[in-house]
Structure 1
Amino acid sequence: MGPRRIRLIGLVLAVATVAVIALLGSRTTTSGHPVAERSASTPPTTTTSTTTTITSEPSRSAEPVSDCAEVIDGLSTRQRLAQLLMVGVDPSSADSATKVAGEEGIGGIFLGGNDTTLLTGDRLAGVRKAAKVPLAVSVDEEGGRVQRVDDLDGDVPSARVMARSMTVAQVHKLARDRGTALHKRGVTVDFAPVVDVTSQPDDDVIGDRSFSADPQVVSKYAGAFAQGLAESGVLPVIKHFPGHGHADGDSHQAAVTTPRLADLQKVDLVPYRRLLRTTRVAVMVGHMAVPGLTNGVPATLSPATYKLLRSEFGFDDLAITDDLGGMQAISGRYPLPKAVLTSLAAGADIAFWSSGEQFVPEVLDTLESAAEDGTLPAPRITDALTRVLRAKGACGS
């Protein structure tokens, strides 16, 4: 066989090999789900890898989903507004949560306190079944002094202890394991990790809830924690934007003020600059007044806060308020319905309060009136609702 013929046969074989590889490759897909899309009865897929590389976003479902406009068109104005609320419910039974989710159509519930009854025995299944739109279920599970399931699933150290005693890879695994446990119990949202930067004493308002006084350390460890939660099927909520670590007091107790925005840019906002580019998270906005930004009002109620988040940081996912009903920085100055309306009109996607469902009818009445007279414009409602529905896997991508 001559050299020319050999070369020709080799070329044919090479082309055929490439074609086979391409065909096989075209049949191999990676399917996943949005963070809040899996049902609690379906355990999330986990990996044994300790790699802490942060992905740009969780993998998306390969299954077709409805367009958000289609879902929104199927809801009344009151139902649309209800989806923009996260309400604290009695965690001792399913009654409170079922009423809020079923009768009122509230988009999310929060389980606070030490009672974990609703997180056992698949009690949340009936609550989810009562909801017309997929229900978000949230907790505060940071570790340390802010935990909700430690009696059920074991203790998790504080953020400060994690950063001092664990590697980034270990924190990533810890968060993924904890998220998996939360997800199996029906939780879809965790108000963690804290990305505030501070050297406060451990028992101060932020204190040991912060990973470090070094924004680079906070970025690495909070990023690993957030990614671990996201991989488990739980949406991480980083907090408290634009930074509570150097505020002059405790927003649970009184109105507080941070250093000027220019100073926050150098330290407190550094973790956001990294994390909002590298992983899919929600952001909780805090109640601090920020000189040079909010003109004396709490950040949660200031349009300038959300403009900063959307424009400078390019953030187009969920913005959630800190507790509007249980923190004196807000509740000491604003009635709850007004605080909820003002935060949503300013740019929040979800208005959160922990103080109970008894306020839901009054809040929804206030929001409906505002929608009718244009105080809460229709485009603002649609914008927020679209983000909420996408985060819950109810539509869009």
Structure 2
Amino acid sequence: MPHDAESEWHRRTPPTPRRTGRRGAGTSTLLLFVALGAVVAALLVVTTAVRGDRSADTAARGSTSTTAPPTSTSAPSSPSSSAPRPAPVVDACAEKVAALPLRARLAQLLVVGVDPRGPADALAAVRDQQVGGIFIGGDDVGLLSAGALAPVHAAASLPLTVAVDDEGGRVQRLDVLDGPLPSAREMAAELTPDQVRALAVKRGQALRARSVTTDLAPVLDTSGQPDRTVIGDRSFSANPDVALGYALAFAEGLHQAGVTPVVKHFPGHGNTSGDSHLGAVTSPPLDALLGADLLPYRELPRFGDVVVMVGHIDVPGLTNGVPATLSPQAYALLRGEFGFSGPAMTDDLGAMRAVTDRVGLPDAVTQALAAGADIALWSSGGRVAEVLDHLEGAVASGALPAPRVAEAAKRVLTAKHAC
């Protein structure tokens, strides 16, 4: 019996008279066992108390440990439980595109040349047709001076792309206003990539100060051809790695200044048979381009948010006699193997005979957009209403699928941060 109860028994039981003989010895033995039992009971009580203390200490330590609690055996909650569900993802650009009338959607895919002498022509194109962008070519700088572009931007209901060709060397627009840039070939020969980046930052700042948003540069073509050929000194190098390094530096400088770079001319114009301004041109076969001219395009993710210009280049093994600007296979290569998800822009569809000798402007714009272009560029100006009428008819007939228009418009608005 427990120790406390055994003591109470002793207090209540009168002592037994001491007797001699066998019965006395038996009583003594009984008392010895009783005493031993009391000692054992006492030890049990002490041991139990110590174990209880240790258990409590272990429980206290366990309450701050990282041991996972026992797995609940309760049934999982039913789908009708009150737990909050995540909100559906909203695609702001898709919604914005869907809200635009078809003609406005199509207009966002056009970048049209305007008179560089002043704002009147640009204002008409933007105010009347709400084109997505304008291109300022030629040598006159009236539209780039004295804040002439401010009312043009103000007339646009969506952010307006204002583009120029300012590569350096024989293709530049701000040399009269902000000083000349060396050609790409000269930059690679005389400057480090860091110096080219700094030069592009300064030039980009000058462009932004004149309300230009986009520079159709840098050239990513690899070329060892003479300076005055179609690409020639517009290329940083015939070596794909060198061309990539300098083009990347130039693009990074423009980015730092807030100007969107346009890398060109996919899938490679540096080693073509001629000048696409003057007629049809053919490049080396696709297998050869993949081993040289196209190597820099594998690094497109390093360029960040850029536009890629597609050239009017017939590539054996890819475009089957059609200029790349009008070839679905060329855009599929850009999107597929090279993984480019930004806007693809055509080279000039209105003033380059590689296209104009084949097809008129409205059809060229339609075919380019249907093939996969997101931005159709022509520098010759005018004809905007005519082109938009033709595009609306192409959507109605299915020649230009409506989903293709929506896809292109979404890329354009995303790139312009219009969403």
SS at match of 1:312: coil
Aligned: 1:87 with 2:112: yes
- Aligned-partner residue type, residue 271 of structure 1: P
SS at match of 2:131: coil
Q: Distance in 1 between matches of 2:91 and 2:298?
A: 32
| Residue in structure 2 matched with residue 312 of structure 1 by the alignment | 337
| Residue in structure 2 matched with residue 97 of structure 1 by the alignment | 122
Q: Distance in 1 between matches of 2:304 and 2:416?
A: 17
How far 1:184 moved relative to its partner?
1.0
How far 1:76 moved relative to its partner?
1.1
Q: Deviations over 1:217-251 (max 9, x none)?
A: 00000000011111111100000000001100000
| Residue in structure 2 matched with residue 144 of structure 1 by the alignment | 169
Q: Deviations over 1:268-327 (max 9, x none)?
A: 001111234443211000001000000110000000001000010110001000000010
- Aligned-partner residue type, residue 70 of structure 1: E
Give the structure-2-normalised TM-score: 0.78
Question: Aligned runs of 1:63-74 on 2, under 5 Å?
Answer: 67-74=92-99
| Residue in structure 1 matched with residue 384 of structure 2 by the alignment | 360
Q: Distance in 2 between matches of 1:99 and 1:156?
A: 32
Q: Contact conserved, 1:309 with 1:315, CA < 8 A, in 2? A: yes
- Aligned-partner residue type, residue 239 of structure 1: K
- Aligned-partner residue type, residue 238 of structure 2: A
Q: Distance in 2 between matches of 1:384 and 1:277?
A: 22
| Residue in structure 2 matched with residue 55 of structure 1 by the alignment | none
How far 1:66 moved relative to its partner?
8.4
**Which of structures 1 and 2 has the bigger CA Rg?**
2
Question: Aligned runs of 1:1-397 on 2, under 5 Å?
Answer: 67-357=92-382, 359-395=383-419
Q: Distance in 1 between matches of 2:275 and 2:401?
A: 33
Q: Contact conserved, 2:351 with 2:379, CA < 8 A, in 1? A: yes
- Aligned-partner residue type, residue 360 of structure 1: V
Q: Deviations over 1:181-221 (max 9, x none)?
A: 10110011100000110111111110100001101100000
- Aligned-partner residue type, residue 114 of structure 1: D
SS at match of 1:100: helix
Q: 1:278 to 1:121 in 2, by over 3 A?
A: closer
Q: Distance in 2 between matches of 1:275 and 1:284?
A: 13
SS at match of 2:263: strand
How far 1:70 moved relative to its partner?
3.0
Q: Distance in 2 between matches of 1:267 and 1:340?
A: 30
How far 1:98 moved relative to its partner?
0.7
- Aligned-partner residue type, residue 211 of structure 1: F
| Residue in structure 2 matched with residue 29 of structure 1 by the alignment | none
- Aligned-partner residue type, residue 376 of structure 1: L
Give identity over the alignment, percent.
59
| Residue in structure 2 matched with residue 20 of structure 1 by the alignment | none
SS at match of 2:336: helix
Structure with more contact order per residue of length (Cα contacts < 8 Å, sep ≥ 6): 1
Consecutive aligned runs of 4 or more in structure 1 exceeding 4 Å deviation: none
How far 1:69 moved relative to its partner?
2.7
SS at match of 1:194: coil
How far 1:68 moved relative to its partner?
1.2
Q: Distance in 1 between matches of 2:263 and 2:418?
A: 22
| Residue in structure 2 matched with residue 3 of structure 1 by the alignment | none
Q: Contact conserved, 1:193 with 1:222, CA < 8 A, in 2? A: yes
Q: Distance in 2 between matches of 1:168 and 1:174?
A: 10
SS at match of 1:240: strand
Q: Distance in 1 between matches of 2:299 and 2:107?
A: 32
Q: Distance in 1 between matches of 2:98 and 2:260?
A: 26
Q: Contact conserved, 2:107 with 2:130, CA < 8 A, in 1? A: yes
Give the structure-1-normalised TM-score: 0.82
Q: Contact conserved, 1:276 with 1:313, CA < 8 A, in 2? A: no
Q: Distance in 2 between matches of 1:133 and 1:248?
A: 40
- Aligned-partner residue type, residue 335 of structure 1: G
Q: Distance in 2 between matches of 1:193 and 1:277?
A: 14
Q: Distance in 2 between matches of 1:108 and 1:294?
A: 28
Q: Distance in 2 between matches of 1:233 and 1:240?
A: 22
Q: Distance in 2 between matches of 1:220 and 1:97?
A: 36
Q: Distance in 2 between matches of 1:69 and 1:265?
A: 34
Q: Distance in 2 between matches of 1:152 and 1:276?
A: 33
**Greater Cα offset, 157-166 or 275-284:** 275-284
Q: Distance in 1 between matches of 2:251 and 2:220?
A: 10
- Aligned-partner residue type, residue 390 of structure 1: T
In structure 2, stretches of 5+ residues that fail to align are 1-89
Q: Contact conserved, 1:198 with 1:245, CA < 8 A, in 2? A: yes
- Aligned-partner residue type, residue 378 of structure 2: W
